Amino acid sequence: MGKANPYIHIPKESWPNWTWYAIECVALIVIAFLASVKITNSIEGLTPEIHNYLITGIFGTFFLVWYVVIRGLILKKKILK
């Protein structure tokens, strides 16, 4: 076809690709933390140590499910290329 006009803005070339991964990771961190805190606060009679372990476990489960199951198996998108 020919060369593109240098005065035309092409967003794909100007927006860094890694920022989408950063936005996805930050959104997952926020969602996972808020959900794990809400879930553990609904369980009564937990000691602070058990409460912290449950928050960490639920938080890690969100990452495992998102990056391995949903993103890796269902969406078929590799994390690292």
- Looking at beta carbons, which pairs linking 27-34 to residues 24 or more positions away fall under 8 Å? 28/62, 28/63, 28/66, 31/62, 32/58, 32/59, 32/62, 32/63, 33/59
Residues (pLDDT < 70) of the chain are 1-5, 8-15, 79-81
Give the pLDDT confidence score for residue 32 in this predicted structure: 96
pTM of the model: 0.72
Give the pLDDT confidence score for residue 59 in this predicted structure: 95
